Copies of this chain bind each other. A is one copy, B any other.
């Protein structure tokens, strides 16, 4: 029924929108936990998880006249972004190691929805999991969602997980029952 190769699941891992909180968003963590619980179940060797974190480049439009200051600032930002991205992915990788499930994780910069579809084309996972943010009707019309774009354009099956699918008790500090999955 299945060949020897594990099913490769790509997951979008985005940062929390809470300012100054450098961790994975509730929707990313919820989608990850849901996938473990409902898809992987106890079949650890049957799956491999691929975590993609896309960082949106800053567009603060500062006009720094000194080339030296600009270079230092750019280098600082690059290091800061890299550290934040690694910290975010570490959460997922550590959880995978604890469970014993195979995984890979990497960071890209750009527009999340376009980068995700591009990486799907490049990496060719068996399917993509995206957590869906709870946008209101106004936001949806003008902003759209990454999940809607990926459902239409990603060249693989797409599993969209809305917020109510995973525990409402999930908080910034990860309650014990959530960590125990």
Contact = CB atoms under 8 A, between A and B. Distances in A.
Given A148-B151, A151-B151, A40 B1 contact: yes
A7 B157 contact: no
Given A1-B181, A2-B38, A159 B43 contact: no
A38 B126 CA distance: 7
Nearest to A40: B1
Interface of A: 1-3, 7, 34, 36-43, 46, 99, 126-127, 147-148, 151-152, 155-162, 164-165, 181
Given A1-B36, A155-B164, A158-B160, 5 more contacts: A1-B37, A1-B42, A43-B43, A147-B151, A159-B159
